[in-house]
Amino acid sequence: MQQNNDSEVVKLPLLMGKIMKKLHSVGDPILEKYALSRIHVHYLMALSDCHKSLSSKELSEKLSVDKANTSRAINDLLERGFVEKEAEDQKSYPLRLTKQGEMVARELKEHNAKELMAMLSVLTAEEKIQMKSILTKISNNI
């Protein structure tokens, strides 16, 4: 009986990979509309969800990403008018979304929620609760 379970478990990375590929691409229509890339999504969402200004360092820590990658992404978002500095004279200046950045973040959230609901529509309410519990347990163990 253990052999059957092991053969099913080894299929999990393939299933999770397929799901991750879909989740990563779900916001692409919105990103294309604003000529943004997937890397920008994390920063837009983090600033949108925070409801306060954050420094680049705080963003890097919040997202668990390299400071150099954060700097490149933020500089791009600054240049393109999606993010602004709260104060020019500070070394570690706080960042916030511009009106345009807020609009894009809102569109991404609405679009992603709609797509996620469609993806999960095959599950019962109980299965969704179980899925969240299982994924949380795994995430907390990583």
- For the domain that residue 137 is a member of, what is the CATH number? 1.10.10.10
What pLDDT is attached to residue 1? 44
pTM of the model: 0.80
76, part of any domain: yes
Q: Indicate whether 90 pLDDT > 60.
A: no
Q: Indicate whether 130 pLDDT > 60.
A: yes
Say which residue the tokens 């933020």 belong to: 74
* pLDDT tens-place string over residues 6-56: 788 888 999 999 999 999 999 999 999 999 999 999 999 999 998 788 989
11, part of any domain: no
Taking residues 82-88, report their average pLDDT: 86
What pLDDT is attached to residue 89? 58
13, part of any domain: no
Tell me the residue range of the domain where 119 lies. Answer: 27-141
Helix, strand, coil content of the chain in percent (nearest 5) = 70, 5, 25
Q: Are 71 and 56 in contact (CB under 8 A)?
A: yes
* pLDDT tens-place string over residues 48-83: 998 788 989 999 999 999 999 999 999 999 999 999
Instruction: State the total domains in the chain.
Output: 1
